[in-house]
Amino acid sequence: MKIHLSAATTADGALDDRSAGRLRISTDADWAAVQRLRAQCDAILVGAGTVRRDNPRLVIADTVLRTERSKEGRGPDPAKVTVTRTGCLDPASRFFTCGEGRKIVFSETALPHLEGAAETVVAERITAARIATELEKRGIGSLLVEGGAEILRMFLAEGMAHTLRLAVNPALRVADAAAPHFPFDAIRTGTPCRTERLGGMEVRRYTFRPDRSEEDLRLLREAVELSRRCTPCRSSYCVGAVIATRDGRRFGGYTHETSPTHHAEQEAAAKALAAGADLRGATIYSSMEPCSTRSSEPESCSELILRHGMARVVFALYEPDCFVSCRGALDLREHGVEVEVYPELGDEVRAINGHLKG
Ligand SMILES: NC(=O)c1ccc[n+]([C@@H]2O[C@H](COP(=O)([O-])OP(=O)(O)OC[C@H]3O[C@@H](n4cnc5c(N)ncnc54)[C@H](OP(=O)(O)O)[C@@H]3O)[C@@H](O)[C@H]2O)c1
Find the CATH number of the domain harbouring 296.
3.40.140.10
Together in a domain, 26 and 103: yes
Together in a domain, 260 and 290: yes
49 lines ligand 1 (CB under 6 A): yes
Together in a domain, 273 and 191: no
Is a pLDDT exceeding 70 seen at residue 358? no
Together in a domain, 105 and 241: no
Together in a domain, 245 and 148: no
Together in a domain, 199 and 218: no
Centre of ligand 1 from the C-alpha of residue 202, in Å: 24
Farthest-apart Cα atoms in the chain, separation: 67
Of 151, 183, 147, 181, nearest to 85 by C-alpha is 151
Mean pLDDT of the chain: 96
pLDDT digits 0-9 by tens, 265-299: 999 999 999 999 999 999 999 999 999 988 888 99
Structural domain boundaries, residue 18: 2-207
- Give the separation between CA 337 and CA 177, rounded to whole angstroms: 35
pLDDT at 322: 66
CA atoms 8, 14, 18, 23: torsion sign: negative
Together in a domain, 261 and 169: no
Strand, helix or coil for residue 291: coil
The domain total for the chain is: 2
Together in a domain, 185 and 137: yes
Of 348, 358, 338, nearest to 160 by C-alpha is 338
Together in a domain, 105 and 237: no
Strand, helix or coil for residue 160: coil
Query: Residues with Cβ < 8 Å from 357, sequence gap 6 or more?
Result: none
- Give the separation between CA 113 and CA 133, rounded to whole angstroms: 25
C-beta of residue 121 within 8 angstroms of C-beta of residue 84: no
Centre of ligand 1 from the C-alpha of residue 14, in Å: 14
pLDDT digits 0-9 by tens, 195-251: 999 999 999 999 999 999 999 999 999 999 999 999 988 888 999 999 999 999 999
Together in a domain, 35 and 105: yes
Together in a domain, 198 and 347: no
Q: Which atom, in ligand 1's list, is nearest to the CA of 86? A: 41
Centre of ligand 1 from the C-alpha of residue 149, in Å: 6
Domain boundary among 178, 207, 236: 207
Together in a domain, 159 and 60: yes
